Amino acid sequence: MYKGYMEDKKRINFIEEIIENDLTNNKNEGRVHTRFPPEPNGYLHIGHAKSICLNFTLAQKYSGKCNLRFDDTNPSKEEQEYVNSIQKDVKWLGFDWDDRLFFASDYFDRLYEFAVELIKKDKAYVCGLTAEQIKEYRGTLTEPGRMSPYRNRSTEENLVLFERMRNGEFRDGECVLRAKIDMSSSNMNMRDPVIYRIAHQSHHRTKDKWCIYPMYDFTHGLCDALEGITHSICTLEFENHRPLYNWFLEQLDVPCHPQQIEFGRLNLSYTVLSKRKLQQLVSEKIVDGWNDPLMPTISGLRRRGYTPESIRNFCERIGVAKFFSIVDLALLEYFIREDLNKRAKRVMAVLDPLKLVIENYPEDKEEEFDADNNPEDRSAGTRKIKFSKVLYIEREDFMENAPKKYFRLSPGREVRLKHAYYVTCTGAVKDAEGTIVEVRCTYDPASRGGGTDDGRKVKSTLHWVSEKHMIKADVRLYEPLFKDRDPSSSKDKNDLHKLINKDAVKTVDAYLEPSLKDAQVSDRFQFLRKGYFCLDKTSTPDKLVFNRTVTLKDSYQP
Ligand code: ATP
Ligand code: MG
């Protein structure tokens, strides 16, 4: 039993409060057992991460357990590829289900027995209405439903028909098994919900063993009970399903009665987190697969350069509540920036190169300077960087006719080249169209290493790379994929193509310091003054590809 909970009583959320009350009252013999129940019909996204962190962390905090259970009751949309990716992502986030990996399909035999038990208790019947009729008979929020003409079939007849459903004697949709509850309930979910449907479809695990499949509401609570789950945490849209969740557990002989608790799902600005829409982005090739760095999937964020720690910290910070909200994308970015600031090696990379020639530097001379790898972490050590007469700087770091407040290079102004020398601009060279193609300057040998003894100050420090030593790379700069802050309530919400920011990724030819040639896929760096970047898996020895994880600055403070 968890002992330390009195200390942090003040900071606990409403779910922890429920759990701690249960522990105090020795409900469930002091056990805490949660589960994360994904449907394997897509890749996990950052919203799932919230649920994963919540369920696994609660189990850890209260010395309990958390199961991973695939809710695989819909064979038409589910695939092994998703099962694999989900397991990989949960592990990558840093969680472990030990030997408790389950599938709802593992329980199909027992669920069938439960359905038979309901029929025997006169709590379920085989209904021959069509799907449209069932919908029509169900009534509305203001009108009660009508009873199905099949509602009073005898138990014997129902048992025979249900078995015939199982044996494949009916076509899809010809009949269903329904719970017999209350057609005039104010809760629509209680108006004789369907609990088994016919689908002559092969299942990714049970293959052709079944042609009837249990519905989610029936399956979920019973699986929870069979696994000894104590707290079944789900999102708010299931609040109205809770009476049904409880009803099944009350009718049937189950080993325990878990408590369903709902919380508000994560919504993120400039992002969609509906699996159906994410699926559409993939199938319509609006993005390049589920792990496109533009995707809010765990695999997309991983490829983008996010760390598991940053996602876990984000989930902890947003907490759980019982209401709808939209979290700012900037908050997620804050957490990856904070994490990479501590761990990413600093390097110099020029994303929009402009040539800089040092007129008074000897033609063939080369020098080496020591550069610190991370000022936030001295143990990261230093590296050597090479300097020579011809360098590249960012185009935006030079202005021919600069306003007073512009402190970077312009004719007559002096700046520091990071780790190297002070240079003073002497002019610029233009091509026939008037575009600046080269900046010229002189250097001060007395400023070697980036400073002087005479107390002279320069107002800015520029990053640079040496033409003779640099390597080239493709660098992908990302913006949010959606134009709207809240795409799901936009007037174009049903037309993904209209919602998409078509310029969400821009690839530039960048020049990098040579130390980057040893970078490995997934290595993360801070490109000085430019942001955090991660080496992409599409890199080849001839062409490195970096993804911008996040820019360096944002006004957001959590
Ligand atoms: P969708 O509605 O997009 O199809 P889903 O919720 O049905 O997604 P599941 O695979 O069933 O997807 O979700 C597994 C678990 O993750 C569920 O417990 C669900 O409540 C939770 N979950 C899904 N999306 C979010 C979210 N945005 N925020 C928090 N939890 C979520
Ligand atoms: Mg679901």
Q: Is residue 150 part of a domain?
A: yes
Residue minimizing CA distance to atom 8 of ligand 1: 275
**pLDDT surpasses 50 at 1:** no
- Sequence-ordered list of residues with C-beta below 8 angstroms from that of 548, at least 6 positions apart, any chain: 305, 475, 476, 477, 478, 531, 532, 533
Q: Report, as an integer, the average pLDDT of 391-420.
A: 96
39 a catalytic residue: yes
pLDDT grade for 4, boundaries at 50, 70 and 90? very low
Could you tell me the distance, in angstroms and rounded to a whole number, from the CA of residue 40 to the centre of ligand 2? 10
Q: Which atom of ligand 1 is nearest to the CA of 52?
A: 16
pLDDT value of position 451: 84
Alpha carbon 517 to chain centroid, angstroms: 29
pLDDT in tens, 354-369: 999 999 999 999 999 9
82: domain range?
13-263
pLDDT value of position 320: 95
**pLDDT surpasses 50 at 2:** no
Q: Which atom of ligand 1 is nearest to the CA of 235?
A: 20
The residue among 463, 494, 523 that closes a domain is 463
Q: Is residue 363 part of a domain?
A: yes
Is the model more confident about 238 or about 554? 238
Nearest CA to 203 out of 435, 336, 89, 40 is that of 40
Q: Report, as an integer, the average pLDDT of 498-523.
A: 96
pTM assigned to the model: 0.95
Question: Does 395 lie in the same domain as 427?
Answer: yes
Question: Does 257 lie in the same domain as 165?
Answer: yes
Q: Say which DSSP state 132 is in.
A: H
Question: Does 496 lie in the same domain as 478?
Answer: yes
With a 6 A CB cut-off, is 266 part of the ligand 1 pocket? yes
Nearest CA to 65 out of 25, 30, 108, 21 is that of 30
Residue minimizing CA distance to atom 13 of ligand 1: 38
With a 6 A CB cut-off, is 233 part of the ligand 1 pocket? no
Question: Does 239 lie in the same domain as 125?
Answer: yes
pLDDT in tens, 248-260: 999 999 999 999 9
Question: Does 321 lie in the same domain as 256?
Answer: no
The residue among 238, 263, 288 that closes a domain is 263
Q: Which residues pair with 439 in a beta bridge?
A: 356, 428
CA distances from 2 to 13, 94, 114, 228 (A): 16, 22, 34, 18
Domain CATH code at residue 61: 3.40.50.620
Q: Is residue 487 part of a domain?
A: yes
Q: Report, as an integer, the average pLDDT of 100-129.
A: 98
Q: Report, as an integer, the average pLDDT of 507-535.
A: 97
Q: Is residue 555 part of a domain?
A: no
Q: Which atom of ligand 1 is nearest to the CA of 51?
A: 30
With a 6 A CB cut-off, is 50 part of the ligand 1 pocket? yes
Q: Report, as an integer, the average pLDDT of 114-131.
A: 98
**pLDDT surpasses 70 at 475:** yes
- Check 27, 39, 386, 485 and give the catalytic one: 39
Q: Is residue 248 part of a domain?
A: yes
pLDDT grade for 453, boundaries at 50, 70 and 90? confident
- Check 27, 77, 151, 265 and give the catalytic one: 265
Q: Which atom of ligand 1 is nearest to the CA of 277?
A: 3
Residue minimizing CA distance to atom 14 of ligand 1: 38
**pLDDT surpasses 80 at 210:** yes
Domain CATH code at residue 510: 1.10.1160.10
With a 6 A CB cut-off, is 274 part of the ligand 1 pocket? yes
Strand 390-394 and strand 436-444: the pairing is unpaired
Could you tell me the distance, in angstroms and rounded to a whole number, from the CA of residue 35 to the centre of ligand 1? 13
pLDDT grade for 556, boundaries at 50, 70 and 90? low
CA 163 – CA 457 distance, rounded (Å): 88
Instruction: Using most ligand atoms within 8 A of CB, pick from 41, 48, 77 the residue to mutate for ligand 1.
Output: 48
367 a catalytic residue: no
Could you tell me the distance, in angstroms and rounded to a whole number, from the CA of residue 334 to the centre of ligand 2? 29
Could you tell me the distance, in angstroms and rounded to a whole number, from the CA of residue 38 to the centre of ligand 1? 7
Question: Does 171 lie in the same domain as 26?
Answer: yes
With a 6 A CB cut-off, is 38 part of the ligand 1 pocket? yes
With a 6 A CB cut-off, is 444 part of the ligand 1 pocket? no
- Domain count for the chain, please give it: 3
Question: Does 254 lie in the same domain as 122?
Answer: yes
**pLDDT surpasses 90 at 554:** no
**pLDDT surpasses 90 at 6:** no
**pLDDT surpasses 50 at 281:** yes
pLDDT in tens, 51-104: 999 999 999 999 999 999 999 999 999 899 999 999 999 999 999 999 999 999
With a 6 A CB cut-off, is 280 part of the ligand 1 pocket? no
The chain-wide mean pLDDT, for the chain, equals: 95
Question: Does 400 lie in the same domain as 382?
Answer: yes
Could you tell me the distance, in angstroms and rounded to a whole number, from the CA of residue 278 to the centre of ligand 1? 13
With a 6 A CB cut-off, is 47 part of the ligand 1 pocket? yes
Instruction: Using most ligand atoms within 8 A of CB, pick from 45, 50, 51 the residue to mutate for ligand 1.
Output: 51
Question: Does 309 lie in the same domain as 207?
Answer: no
With a 6 A CB cut-off, is 325 part of the ligand 1 pocket? no
Residue minimizing CA distance to atom 27 of ligand 1: 47
CA distances from 273 to 487, 514, 548 (A): 10, 39, 21
Q: Is residue 73 part of a domain?
A: yes
Q: Which atom of ligand 1 is nearest to the CA of 40?
A: 10
The residue among 463, 481, 499 that closes a domain is 463
265 a catalytic residue: yes
pLDDT grade for 3, boundaries at 50, 70 and 90? very low
Q: DSSP letters along 481-530, please?
A: SBSSSSGGGSTTTT-HHHHB-TTSEEEEEEEE-GGGGG--TT-EEEETTT
With a 6 A CB cut-off, is 268 part of the ligand 1 pocket? no
Tokens of 221: 């609570």
Question: Does 116 lie in the same domain as 187?
Answer: yes
Q: Is residue 6 part of a domain?
A: no
Question: Does 280 lie in the same domain as 372?
Answer: no
Q: Is residue 268 part of a domain?
A: no
Q: Give me the count of residues in the chain.
A: 558
Q: Which amino acid is at 211?
A: C
pLDDT in tens, 14-32: 999 999 999 999 999 999 9
Q: Which atom of ligand 1 is nearest to the CA of 265?
A: 28
- Check 31, 65, 275, 529 and give the catalytic one: 275
Residue 120: Cβ within 10 Å count: 13
- Helix (H) or strand (E) run with residue 371 in it: strand 367-372
Question: Does 69 lie in the same domain as 188?
Answer: yes
Q: What share of the chain in percent tops pLDDT 90?
A: 94
- Sequence-ordered list of residues with C-beta below 8 angstroms from that of 26, at least 6 positions apart, any chain: none
pLDDT grade for 10, boundaries at 50, 70 and 90? low
Domain CATH code at residue 446: 2.40.240.10
